[in-house]
Structure 1
Amino acid sequence: MTVTVARHIVPGPDAERFAERLSQGVAKRIDRLESSTDAIDFAFSTALQALQAHCVADPQAAKLETWEATVNAMQVGSALFAVTGASEGTVDCRINEKMQTLSAIGPQPFADAGNWLTAFWLAVICREQTRMTQLCEIPLERLRSPEGTYDEFVYHYVDVLQTYWLQRSGLVDKLIAAIETSNPAVAQTTPRDLLQGVLYPPINLFYHFVRKHEEGFSPALEEALKLHKAYWTLDEDREADIDGAVALGPLAMASLAYDGKLPIKVESDYLPKHLLEHGWLGEFPTY
């Protein structure tokens, strides 16, 4: 039996227009990148907002504009790590349907594990295997925040995903380390509600996916979406924030499971149908 988890955000009468305005802003930020890549992190955050806004207006991601917003966010996220991975010269990146020659800017604080996870999740959702490989080849130490922004479990989870995708050894031990260090008694920096509602569920979903646990994946996915909903409805400010419209981490893990032929017995606007089932794949060049 398929379970439905209702999304807390419903599209209002101005939802499409708002999403389009955000996409226009993203296009302008992208056009400025060739003259200056210093603000690429702002372009990424704006592209993520546009993706979420389009998914509010188009809950199943059935419109081409939603796919374009998803691809743009994925491309900007990948470009962020491409330009911060080199200290001189230029990097060619396809963004918003054209090739852009961007200046390398070297290591930056925003090229961290948090943005890496988001960029990787987007690459998974878009089924961009080359980008997934490029992201996974980034050394883990390069993603560490000098300010100690993240608890150790975040880096363990990055290591798990890189190890899985590049078929390196030690996956089981690394996954155990990610699970153990995400225990609230161990993770001291991450707020408890963020840990339990947003950051831990994708780790748990990957655990069920990599074990090919057909009976466990969908219940874990249902729980992940309910925890996501609880986090984003904790107060009025969060409830009104479009950043909670799509559960990116669970969607990425569900995309891996879907492609791996695990049955997905959960439906939700937190997991837009045509993104989960890669309905737009191959519509236009994305790399």
Structure 2
Amino acid sequence: MAAQVSTAMMVLAQPSDGPRECPFINSLPLQIPSPLPAEYAHAGHWLDGWKLAAISRQAELLDRLLALRPHIFNQRPIHTPEVTLKWVDLYAAVLAVPDVTRHPAYAWLREYVATCPPQGSHGKAVKYLSGPRLDLLPPLVDRDAIGFEAALDRALEAHKEYWSKTAKRRKDPEGFVALDLTALAALAWDRGLRFQVDSDYLPWSWVTGELFARQSVA
């Protein structure tokens, strides 16, 4: 449902001359009389929708998000950070190109991680979250299950270190599940990589898709 809502907000924020039907919510058509405010079509909602759709194996939503990607850049609020848009580019490329490590967004983000000052909250997030996340992509491209497992284990340890560092972070729901890592692990699993990582931040039934298979049968 969360993936459907994120995608629906993106769809319904696009310009329209009249009512628009959104088919995603529980597969029932939903009539919206006018577009949502343009600010709903922002990169954060796109990234949330991508991660949740990848985890829940909703290919139709991923296709719709890829089609909406150009609107992120055409309608973006002036304050949208460039690094956020690069993540949109990179996650779109993960699905669309054979070797995402050759994509310009990957090179840009690698340089950003390498040169970002480690001081401050943003610098620490880049060090502990963004860098380790990028390390998953080379073994994903190479279909190297052993390398992917090792990179995933390191990324989860970095996630744990970052989100358990202070009392405030420990209470922040954003850190309870490593959604980016779970989404990339789900993609790797669906591409045939077999690995085993034990972490409270990585729901294993989400990685394998077992949870969503049970729900579809029910």
TM-score by shorter chain over 0.5? yes
Measured after TM superposition, the shift of residue 195 of structure 1 is 1.6
Deviation of the 1:143 alpha carbon: 6.3
Residue of structure 2 equivalent to 1:85: 14
Report which of the two has the higher share of helix: 2
TM-score (norm 1): 0.64
Percent identical among aligned pairs is: 27
Show the counterpart of 1:22. none
1:262 paired residue among 190, 193, 198 = 193
Q: For residue 262 of structure 1, what is the amino acid of its counterpart?
A: L
Match of 1:240 in 2: 171
Residues 1-287 of structure 1 mapped to structure 2, 5 A cutoff: 72-88=1-17, 89-96=19-26, 98-105=28-35, 108-138=38-68, 139=70, 140-142=72-74, 144-147=76-79, 149-150=80-81, 152-167=82-97, 172-174=102-104, 175-185=106-116, 191-282=122-213, 283-284=215-216
CA 1:209–1:118 in structure 2 vs 1: closer, same or farther (change >3 Å)?
same
Aligned length: 212
- Verify the 8 A CA contact 1:163 1:171 in the aligned structure 2: no
How far has the Cα of 1:279 moved from its partner?
0.9
Task: State the alpha-carbon separation in 1 of the partners of residues 100 and 140 from structure 2.
Answer: 17
Query: Within 2, Cα distance between the matches of 1:109 and 1:193?
Result: 28
Structure 2: segments with no counterpart, 5+ residues: none
Structure with larger RCO (C-alpha < 8 A, sep 6+): 1
Q: Is the 8 A contact 1:120 1:132 kept in 2?
A: yes
Pair 259,222 (structure 1): closer, same or farther in 2 beyond 3 Å: same
Structure 1 unmatched ranges of 5 or more? 1-71
* TM-score normalized with structure 2 length: 0.82
Q: Closer, same or farther in 2 for the Cα pair 1:212/1:189, shift >3 Å?
A: farther
Matches of 1:128 and 1:122, distance apart in 2: 9
CA–CA separation in structure 1 for the residues paired with 2:143 and 2:4: 30
Q: Is the contact made by 1:87 and 1:106 (CA closer than 8 Å) also made in structure 2? A: no
Tell me how far 1:162 sits from its aligned partner. Answer: 1.7
Which residue pairs with 1:66 in the alignment? Answer: none
Q: Which moved more, 1:221-230 or 1:157-166?
A: 157-166
Task: After TM superposition, give the deviation of residue 245 of structure 1 in Å.
Answer: 1.3
Displacement of 1:167: 3.8
Aligned residue identity for 1:197: Y
Compute the displacement of 1:206 (Å): 2.5
3-state secondary structure, aligned to 2:21: strand
Give the deviation of 1:235 after TM superposition.
1.3
The residue that corresponds to 1:3 in the other structure is none
